Amino acid sequence: MPELVIDGKHITVPDGATVLDAARAIGIEIPTLCHRDGFAASTSCMVCVVKDVARSRLIPSCTAPAADGMVVESETDEVHAARRRALELLLSDHPADCLGPCETVCPAHLAIPRMIRHILAGDVRAAAATARAALVLPATLGRICPAPCEKGCRRGLHDAPVAIRLLHRYAADADLAAGDSVLPEPAAETGKRVAVVGAGPAGLLAGWHLLRAGHAVTVLDESDAAGGALRYAVDDDLLPPAVLDAEVALIRRLGAAFRLGTCVGQDMGLDDLTAEFDAVLVAVGSLERTDAGGLGLPAGKQGLEVNAETHATPQPGVFAAGGCVRPRKMAVRAVADGAAAAACIRGHLAGETVAAPGRPFTTRLGRPDADELAEFLATASAIARVEPEAGPAKGLTGGEAAMEAARCLHCDCRAAEDCLLRYWAARYGATPNRHTGPRRRVRIFDRHPDIVYEPAKCISCGLCVQVCERRRERLGLAFIGRGFDVRVGVPFEDSLADGLAEAARECAAVCPTGALALKEEA
């Protein structure tokens, strides 16, 4: 049996084992896209390269036989750079969006296409849960948000953007009316306590996310009711207090304690809070310099002085977010601030590096040409934008919401959460637009009852072809063409439904790039 050394570790493996097998046996993680255990290797992605030190060259670990006396390097700058280069070359010919353009421009990163798919499926509770996971106050924001997300909606290139704000309002309203809103299951209790000063959008959002992380949260506010500017600066006709009350009640249900009618800086000081709590978040809205002085925190030109990356103030254990740091014209931006500050506080309480989460990795198609836009439009309803027949104050009915949801082009990748190309590109810091030039054209085959096929995402790994052979599909999938023009398709130009009569779901499960994805996958 061959004995080899990988990154200084000795390992003996059975005859016939590969370098990848040997690395995995000693806990060294090597990225793979085209390789799956139990399938024949194709060496089509070159993301699994390692360095054969004796020959001073890079080799694909998924097919390289483990040889006696071999010395291999895996976790070096040189190897990582080669893997990153392979990923970037794949990304350069991957015309697709991991996340929908609407989601990428939403300050709170609401998973909009996923929410809309839930509405289309008639699962209003799931749609509301998706909206609440990002917005926490989806019914409230559904009435007052200027909908920056709609500026990113690709449907707007054709007629009018999808009415995203009205849709998350509809889902949240229906969920609240049903009276059985499903709340997320909090993590195990940490024993840590956090004070949130200010019950406006930033404070409420931060409290929600800290509760989900298992921390005990107490929200303090000088007013007698929670909501901040949402309650006192918005007309009741636009935002009925009952709607805001219902959403605040869900935050109470999740476990938040409220100390209302308490003015920090007058009734008590920050020092009192830092003595009682493990961390404090100041989210009191717009501040005058005198107010900042009452809190005992230094103020800059716009608001409280904080580290832009960590939301930390100069006072240990005290953080700040929202309008008291920088004036916010949109509540959804305060919402995003509160979520980011909560992430920083979680890191602080866990003794980890404190930093706000970065933007999730996504590739971007950009502006499609007319033929590509037609591919998207063919998957959606052709009707014009649906407006509430009963007027804006009433919102969409269930039927209207379903019709409007059907206009969505679903520009996102349904398999984004499981896409290995996206996962490893993020891990290795790959830049999607490092290499530019001609790319494949967007094609969307969505007539199959279970899956969607986007051939321009395919890296020709052949895993789906092997699945079809094993399942003995009558037609199945095959490599069509030669060289750079090779593609995977159904033989004889038959339909995808004919080609994948039995193995569609298995093919989607092994696809490493989301080229084949389940339709119902959120």
For residue 424, give every residue at least 6 positions away whose Cβ sits within 8 Å of its Cβ, in sequence order, or none: 31, 33, 47, 83, 87, 430
- Strands 478-480 and 451-453 come out as unpaired
Rg (CA), the chain: 26
Set out the domains of the chain in order of their start, with CATH numbers. Answer: 3-75 (3.10.20.740), 101-181+365-405 (1.10.1060.10), 193-349 (3.50.50.60), 439-518 (3.30.70.20)
- Other CB atoms within 10 Å distance of the CB of residue 186: 15
pTM of the complete model? 0.92
Closest of 366, 362, 394, 410 to residue 112, by C-alpha: 410
Closest of 453, 491, 447 to residue 469, by C-alpha: 491
Burial class (CB in 10 A: 0-12, 13-18, 19+), 371: exposed
- Strands 487-489 and 516-518 come out as unpaired
Query: In whole angstroms, what is the distance from residue 270 CA to residue 329 CA?
Result: 27
Length of the chain: 522
Closest of 75, 90, 1, 25 to residue 461, by C-alpha: 90
Tokens coding 27: 């806990």
Tokens coding 365: 């198609």
CB 338 within 8 A of CB 134: no
> What pLDDT was estimated at residue 333?
94
> What pLDDT was estimated at residue 301?
77
Closest of 164, 44, 45, 21 to residue 106, by C-alpha: 164
Q: Which residues pair with 197 in a beta bridge?
A: 220, 282
Mapped to the 3 state alphabet, what secondary structure does 319-364 carry?
A: EECHHHCCCCCCHHHHHHHHHHHHHHHHHHHCCCCCCCCCCCCCCC
Those residues of the chain that have pLDDT short of 70 are 288-293, 521-522
Tokens coding 226: 């929670």
Report CA-CA distances (Å) from 489 to 355, 453, 478, 496: 45, 10, 6, 8
Query: In whole angstroms, what is the distance from residue 513 CA to residue 510 CA?
Result: 9
- Token pair 């900042």 is found at 292
- Token pair 């976790």 is found at 75
273 phi and psi, to 5 degrees? Answer: -70, -40
- Element at 291 (helix H, strand E): helix 289-295
> What pLDDT was estimated at residue 520?
76
Four-residue CA torsion sign, 73, 74, 79, 82: positive
Query: In whole angstroms, what is the distance from residue 74 CA to residue 71 CA?
Result: 10
Query: In whole angstroms, what is the distance from residue 404 CA to residue 159 CA?
Result: 13
Query: In whole angstroms, what is the distance from residue 235 CA to residue 44 CA?
Result: 60
CB 270 within 8 A of CB 185: no
> What pLDDT was estimated at residue 287?
74
Query: In whole angstroms, what is the distance from residue 329 CA to residue 198 CA?
Result: 17
Query: In whole angstroms, what is the distance from residue 462 CA to residue 467 CA?
Result: 9
Query: In whole angstroms, what is the distance from residue 118 CA to residue 108 CA?
Result: 19
CB 345 within 8 A of CB 203: no
Query: In whole angstroms, what is the distance from residue 168 CA to residue 108 CA?
Result: 13
Is residue 222 classed as helix, strand or coil in its secondary structure? coil
Query: In whole angstroms, what is the distance from residue 91 CA to residue 133 CA?
Result: 30
